[in-house]
Amino acid sequence: MNKTITPQKRDKSLVPLSREHHFGLLFCWKIRQGLKNGTDLEVLRSYVRYFWENILKEHCDEEEWLLERILKTDDTLRGRLAEEHKLIHTIIELIKEGSPMNKQLFEVLERDLTDHIRWEERELFPYLQAVVDPEELASSADLLNHNHDPRQDNFTPEFWLAKPQAA
């Protein structure tokens, strides 16, 4: 029996953050591919720095700002988001510092960030849509969108591409 998964209807207020989740999952895929291709860990470290500074840090800050505005301080999902963001930031700091530099640190980042994004999409955003007044969600998102330029990942070298086989 084929089970079809229907995409969840996303409130338009959350669409910009959802779009950025696509970038986050692509970042994780690139790390996975880079490890599979045997990419030098220094190149991966440079990419993690680049992605954090240009895309991920601001995205996390915006999510936390949004949840501070629309959820109560003692809301467990708000607390979970903050804790997971702190964990991801800690892993990124370990990678940025380079000590100890090892493949497993990148694997942990890739796995934890993928799991976090999937949790936000499957649980947090539907929860927000269910418990937050739609007008309040829209006005908060409008404040976010005012300063929200589409992010771009233009990192080079493109280490995630398959290496040509030697003849």
What are the extents of the domains in the chain?
Answer: 15-146
Whole-number pLDDT of residue 167: 47
pLDDT of residue 90: 96
Alpha carbon 151 to its chain's center: 12
- Homologous superfamily assigned to 15-146: nmb1532 protein domain like (1.20.120.520)
| Residue 75, Ramachandran bin (φ over 0: left; ψ between -120 and 50: alpha; else beta) | beta
Residues sharing a CB contact under 8 Å with residue 84, sequence separation 6 or more, in sequence order: 112, 116, 119
Note the pLDDT of residue 1: 52
Report the Cα 35 to chain-centroid distance in Å. Answer: 19
pLDDT values of the chain reduced to their tens digit, one per residue, 167 residues: 555 555 567 788 888 888 889 999 999 999 999 999 999 999 999 999 999 999 999 999 999 999 999 999 999 999 999 999 999 999 999 999 877 778 999 999 999 999 999 999 999 999 999 999 989 988 887 777 756 566 788 899 999 987 655 54
Peptide bond connecting 126 to the previous residue in cis, omega within 30 degrees of 0: no
